[in-house]
Amino acid sequence: MKRVLYEIITGVRVGFIPSMILTLLTPFSLLYGLICLIRRWIYEAGVLKGKRLPIPVVCIGSVVAGGTGKTSLTIYLAELLASRGIKPVIICSGYGGRSKSTIIVSDGKRITADVEAAGDEAYMLAERMLRQGTPVIAGRDRFKAGMIAFNRFKPDLLLLDDGFQHLKLSRDLDLVVVDGAEPFGTGRLLPAGTLREPPSALKRADLIILMNSGSSERKVKRLSGGKLICRSNRIPSHLRPIGERNRVKLNELQGKKVLAVCSIGNPSSFERMLSNLGCRVHLLGFPDHHFYSREDLKAIEEMKVEFDLIVTTAKDEPKLLRLGFRNGLVLEIDLEMDHQLIESLILTLRDSPDKTMQRCV
């Protein structure tokens, strides 16, 4: 049911019945938008105030539900900060995980929770951050997670992954990621679309990260009230077998017929990325954060005979491994950004939160 609804609101399924469903959902989107505006006003007017942690908080978020590149940016910043001698801890929601409490997914030395408990994104972050020793904590209560990070790991700052709408927690810097190809998703608010907030919410950002920038930059600049924009690109780095670390060159895909298996927020971007590598792609997409079942694996196994290769994402890898599936490749992705602007951001993080805000707006 979730998959069908996602396909309807993203335009994959069209026709009379999908159109009727969108029409029925539209009043709820209008109500949701009104609630968003009232909630934002309550915090901006000081009626409610976000809790402040004793260390700086850098938030990475988006106004669109699904894959805009938030997690890629979180990884990039964590690695960059660590390379400059700044010790971060990553806080994420653990969305899709079964744990209802705040859990330490990784202490920076080892993984301390499984993918089912932590959720796919938190687990993927934890695995990636083992290379540099950055802890990852998951929990719905971000303040509680932040206090655990502060008391347990004594970090220099916190990276709040996917926290732009979490107004309960005060932050010192809001980085908002916008997909240059689809800056506002479907253009409709949840539940009839993929917008979490009206586009005017971009005015709350301190810096906008425009992924794969295109013709939308001017529109984003206008709706954000002229906020500073940093251009960025997600680029394929290499392939590797599922569950392994040895690299496979990207040119192995050229001319091949590839089955792209993923359960991410923006599956079309994964499909485009593979197509640009010179292969013929058939997308087998599942809803974001989907946990694969034995039936799903059976369907994948039956389809694979028609393809040369199966390629999936790093986010999907642990969910396939838990079922023993290894017959495929993982596409690893790197982030390219304006190096000078990022260097400036790193330097401001050494100052007080107030100075950081002033330099980046």
- Model confidence over 70-80: pLDDT tens digits? 999 999 999 98
Contact 288, 265 (CB under 8 A): yes
Strands 173-179 and 207-211: parallel
Judge whether 85 lies within some domain.
yes
Reported as a single tens digit per residue, the pLDDT across 136-152 is: 999 999 999 999 999 99
Judge whether 320 lies within some domain.
yes
Judge whether 185 lies within some domain.
yes
- Tell me, yes or no, whether 93 and 72 share the same domain: yes
Hunting for tokens 């790093």 — which residue is that?
314
Question: Which pTM does this prediction carry?
Answer: 0.92
H helical segments located in the chain: 2-9, 16-44, 70-83, 115-118, 120-129, 142-153, 217-223, 267-275, 294-304, 317-321, 339-348, 353-360
According to the model, what pLDDT value does residue 354 have? 54
**Sorting pLDDT into bands at 50, 70 and 90, what band is 361?**
very low
Judge whether 50 lies within some domain.
no
> Among 1-5, 8-12, 235-239, which stretch is predicted with the lowest mean pLDDT?
1-5
* Contact partners, residue 20, CB within 8 Å, separation at least 6: none
Reported as a single tens digit per residue, the pLDDT across 214-257 is: 778 889 999 999 998 999 999 999 999 999 999 999 999 999 99
Per the DSSP assignment, residues forming a β-bridge with 309 are 258
Q: Say which residue, 359 or 31, is predicted with more confidence.
A: 31
Average pLDDT over residues 292-297: 95
Average pLDDT over residues 39-56: 94
Strands 309-313 and 329-337: parallel
Hunting for tokens 């959902």 — which residue is that?
25
H or E element in which residue 179 lies: strand 173-179
Predicted confidence (pLDDT) at residue 63 exceeds the cutoff of 50: yes
Per the DSSP assignment, residues forming a β-bridge with 111 are 106
Reported as a single tens digit per residue, the pLDDT across 150-175 is: 999 999 999 999 999 999 999 989 99
- Tell me, yes or no, whether 34 and 70 share the same domain: no
Judge whether 223 lies within some domain.
yes
User: What is the domain range of residue 245?
Assistant: 235-334
- Tell me, yes or no, whether 244 and 228 share the same domain: no
The sign of the torsion formed by the CA atoms of 193, 199, 205, 209 equals positive
| CATH number of residue 224's parent domain | 3.40.50.300
- Tell me, yes or no, whether 74 and 169 share the same domain: yes
Judge whether 282 lies within some domain.
yes
3-state DSSP assignment of residue 220 = helix
The sign of the torsion formed by the CA atoms of 51, 57, 63, 69 equals negative
The mean pLDDT of the chain is 91
Query: How many other CB atoms sit within 10 Å of the CB of residue 335?
Result: 20
Q: Is 105 exposed, middle or buried (0-12, 13-18, 19+ CB in 10 A)?
A: buried
- Nearest to residue 190, comparing CAs of 60, 34, 69? 34
Predicted confidence (pLDDT) at residue 352 exceeds the cutoff of 60: no
- Tell me, yes or no, whether 31 and 68 share the same domain: no
Reported as a single tens digit per residue, the pLDDT across 113-132 is: 999 999 999 999 999 999 99
- Tell me, yes or no, whether 66 and 116 share the same domain: yes
According to the model, what pLDDT value does residue 350 have? 60
| 242 Cα distance to chain centroid | 21
In the chain, the number of structural domains is: 3
- Tell me, yes or no, whether 110 and 225 share the same domain: yes
Q: Say which residue, 355 or 189, is predicted with more confidence.
A: 189
- Tell me, yes or no, whether 340 and 194 share the same domain: yes
Phi and psi torsions of 136, nearest 5°: -130, 130
- Tell me, yes or no, whether 330 and 247 share the same domain: yes
| CATH number of residue 301's parent domain | 3.40.190
- Tokens representing 317 are 């890898």
Per the DSSP assignment, residues forming a β-bridge with 333 are 236
Average pLDDT over residues 43-53: 94
According to the model, what pLDDT value does residue 133 have? 96
Judge whether 66 lies within some domain.
yes
- Tell me, yes or no, whether 268 and 216 share the same domain: no
The sign of the torsion formed by the CA atoms of 30, 34, 40, 43 equals negative
Judge whether 61 lies within some domain.
yes
Q: Say which residue, 253 or 351, is predicted with more confidence.
A: 253
Predicted confidence (pLDDT) at residue 312 exceeds the cutoff of 70: yes
- Tell me, yes or no, whether 207 and 129 share the same domain: yes
- Tell me, yes or no, whether 343 and 259 share the same domain: no
